[in-house]
Amino acid sequence: MGASPRGYEAPMRIGYTLMTEQASPPDLVRHAGIAEEAGFDFEVMSDHYFPWLDEQGHSGYAWSMLGAVTQVTSRVELMTYVTCPTFRYHPAVVAQKAATVQLLSGGRFTLGVGSGENLNEHVVGRGWPSVDVRHEMLVEALEIINDLFDGGYVTREGKHFRVDSAKLWDLPETRVPIAAAVSGPQSVRQLAPLADHMVTTAPDNDLVSRWSTAGGRGNRKIGQMPICFDTDRDAAVERAHEQFRWFGGGWKVNSELPGTAGFAGASQFVRPDDVAEAIVCGDDVGAVVDTVAEWRRAGFTDLALIQVGGGHQEQFLEWAAGDLLPALRDA
């Protein structure tokens, strides 16, 4: 492929979120096939043990669903957004799972990783250390995963993990790219040299700039943005408040709370109007296009949309195919 014309910018890739916390496993897999037909460029899947709030009501096992999604899609890239490879899962097992999904998908998978949330990781009873320790564990986990992706046997005794003669026997020809979730300068500095792409949930140009100079192997900056489509805006605001009022707490809060009761308590004074200010609600295509433009201006190359409400995915996907995606591409 020849060089791009001077000044040319590739269009932002728009993805769809398979949110395990708000839909049953059979529905989620079905939505994945519909989203590909609708024209999304990629699909990301959360990896939770708990929903954020009781009202969301679901939390199936992401890796089983990913295997199924590889068989009902053929074009879209797939990604975990994100897996924590340090508490519920040993990093050697995460490497095996990622390699398997890469083979099943024909080379369409990216392993998205992060340092996790107490909400999901407390279930194995190992406690919840400070953020510095969690970052330390993630660095060590990524070193193990990278070594296994390189092929051959891996034996290691580190501060947090031991590996005894591990090897990936089914290693894909296309190495699994790694995308690391970051939240500030420290995580960028630690994770960029071990990963290909950056993940974060706010249109932060400072993080993008830091990542670009910190030694990451790839150049994708992948964000995620919730919206709540409904032809009745009031209904959309009500649903967004019911199921997504936790969203405004930010990473420092969301990573620490241990259960849905904690998130309910922390968000009890959040008003519907507060949620509507943070999340585009209704069917105004222009409002979504304008909000997506903020991510593009911040330097993001990829943005995965979340449609709030497990029972409202098919209506959203029909609207996205006919109205939203064409408008985003025109913009």
How many other C-beta atoms can be found within 10 angstroms of the C-beta atom of residue 181? 24
Q: DSSP of 138-175, one letter per residue?
A: HHHHHHHHHHHHT-S-EEEE-SS-EEEEE--SS--SSP
Arithmetic mean of pLDDT, 99-118: 98
Catalytic residue check, 48: yes
SS3 assignment for 105-119: HCCCEEEEECCCCHH
Residue 121 has pLDDT above 60, yes or no: yes
- Contact by Cβ (8 Å): 275, 245: yes
Residue 124 has pLDDT above 60, yes or no: yes
156's enclosing H/E stretch is strand 154-157
Name the phi and psi angles at 87, rounded to 5: -120, -75
Give me the pLDDT at residue 310, please: 97
Distance of CA 288 to the CA centre of its chain: 19
Residue 72 has pLDDT above 90, yes or no: yes
Segment 87-107, tens digit of pLDDT: 999 999 999 999 999 999 999
Spatial neighbors of 265 by CB under 8 A, at least 6 apart, are: none
Locate 281 and state its tokens. 């609600």
Residues above pLDDT 90, as percent of the chain:
92
The sign of the dihedral angle between the CA atoms of 139, 64, 52, 226 is: positive
Locate 290 and state its tokens. 């304008």
Locate 274 and state its tokens. 């507060």
Give me the pLDDT at residue 8, please: 55
Residue 252 has pLDDT above 90, yes or no: no
Residues above pLDDT 70, as percent of the chain:
97
Give me the pLDDT at residue 7, please: 53
Segment 291-317, tens digit of pLDDT: 999 999 999 999 999 999 999 999 999
Q: Which amino acid is at 54?
A: D
Locate 246 and state its tokens. 């936790």
At residue 217 the predicted structure's pLDDT band, cuts being 50, 70 and 90, is confident
Residues 48 and 52: their CA atoms lie apart, in Å, by 9
The catalytic position among 21, 77, 117, 121 is 117
The sign of the dihedral angle between the CA atoms of 222, 304, 275, 286 is: positive
Distance of CA 45 to the CA centre of its chain: 6
Q: In whole angstroms, how far apart are CA 184 and each of 200, 208, 249, 251?
A: 10, 10, 16, 11
Q: In whole angstroms, how far apart are CA 54 and each of 22, 31, 118, 160, 178?
A: 10, 22, 16, 33, 31
Catalytic residue check, 117: yes
How many other C-beta atoms can be found within 10 angstroms of the C-beta atom of residue 103? 17
Arithmetic mean of pLDDT, 23-39: 98
pLDDT averaged over every residue in the chain: 95
Q: Which residue shows structure tokens 């201006």?
A: 297
Locate 309 and state its tokens. 């409400």
Locate 43 and state its tokens. 């699909």
Global pTM? 0.96
At residue 323 the predicted structure's pLDDT band, cuts being 50, 70 and 90, is very high
Cα-based angle 203, 40, 236 (whole degrees, multiple of 5): 65
Q: DSSP of 128-141, one letter per residue?
A: ---HHHHHHHHHHH
SS3 80: strand
Residue 5 has pLDDT above 60, yes or no: no
The catalytic position among 48, 122, 197, 241 is 48
- Contact by Cβ (8 Å): 133, 263: no
Segment 182-192, tens digit of pLDDT: 999 999 999 99
Spatial neighbors of 255 by CB under 8 A, at least 6 apart, are: 115, 116, 117, 118, 131
Q: Is 168 left (phi over 0), alpha (psi -120 to 50) or beta?
A: beta
Across the strands, what pairs with 172?
none
Helix, strand counts (H, E) of the chain: 14, 11
Segment 152-179, tens digit of pLDDT: 999 999 999 999 999 999 999 999 999 9
